Each structure stands twice: as C-alpha cells, then as structure tokens.
Amino acid sequence: MKVKDVMNKNFIKVSPFDIGGEVVNCLYRERKNYAPVVEDGKLVGWITTLDLLAGCKHSKIEDLMLFLDEIKILNENDEITDELIEEMIKNEDIAYPVINDREEVVGTLSVFDILKYIKNI
C-alpha cells in the first residue's frame, strides 16, 4: 500500500509565523497532536503538542518547530512497509508529514491512519 492511499488529506497546517498559543488552541479544537509547518506550500518544519508545551505560548512557531533535518518526511508514493511501521513504533512517532514530487505538503500519515486502513481491509 502507498502512503497516498492511507494518509490524511484533510490536515491542519500552520505557518512559521503563527503564535504558539493560537496553534495550541487550533490543535486542541481539532483534537490533533501535530501539524506540518508550511510556507508557500512547502514543508519547512513540524510541530507537536510536546514542542508547544516546552515553548512559550507567545513564541512564533519558527522558534518552536522541528526542522527538516530533524524529522522523517514521506513522499505520497512511498510504500508503507513493515520497516516504516517498526520505525514509528520504536521512535514513538505519532505521525509524519507527506509531500508530493514538487515538495508540496499534501497530507500527514499517522499511526491512526494506518490502523483505520488496516481495520477496513
């Protein structure tokens, strides 16, 4: 199965210039724990609720986010392999950002997306 067949295409994205407290409220309302940080349609980072808790609610997301070299990024055409699932489990990663071949953010892939897919097979 490919990432694009399982990923969440209706995802929250934030700007590096958003304020932490606003993002916390948005994530809370939508019951999400993560979001890609996007600028001009391109992935520039990744933010989780833990990053927000460690930071200040008045800080900009660009000061709190994980940078591209600190995260795993999936392409929508990647295969979901046992190795990928094992890596998510080992690292306790809840989700990854997903990009297309033009490096535009097109979704997120979470452990919950995988579980929903497997349940519906």
How many domains does the chain contain in total?
Answer: 1
Are 5 and 84 a contacting pair, CB within 8 Å?
no
User: What phi and psi values does residue 74 have, to the nearest 5 degrees?
Assistant: -100, 150
Query: DSSP for 43-94?
Result: EEEEEEHHHHHHS-TTSBGGGTSEEGGGS--EETTSB--HHHHHHHHHHT--
Measured CA angle at 77 (ends 43, 108), to 5 deg: 45
pLDDT reported for residue 56: 80
Question: Which pLDDT tens digit goes with each residue over 31-63?
Answer: 999 999 999 999 999 999 999 988 887 899 999
Mean pLDDT of the chain: 95
- Domain boundaries, position 45: 3-119
Mean per-residue pLDDT, 104-109: 98
Q: Name the strand (E) or helix (H) holding 115.
A: helix 111-119
pLDDT reported for residue 55: 84
CATH of residue 58: 3.10.580.10
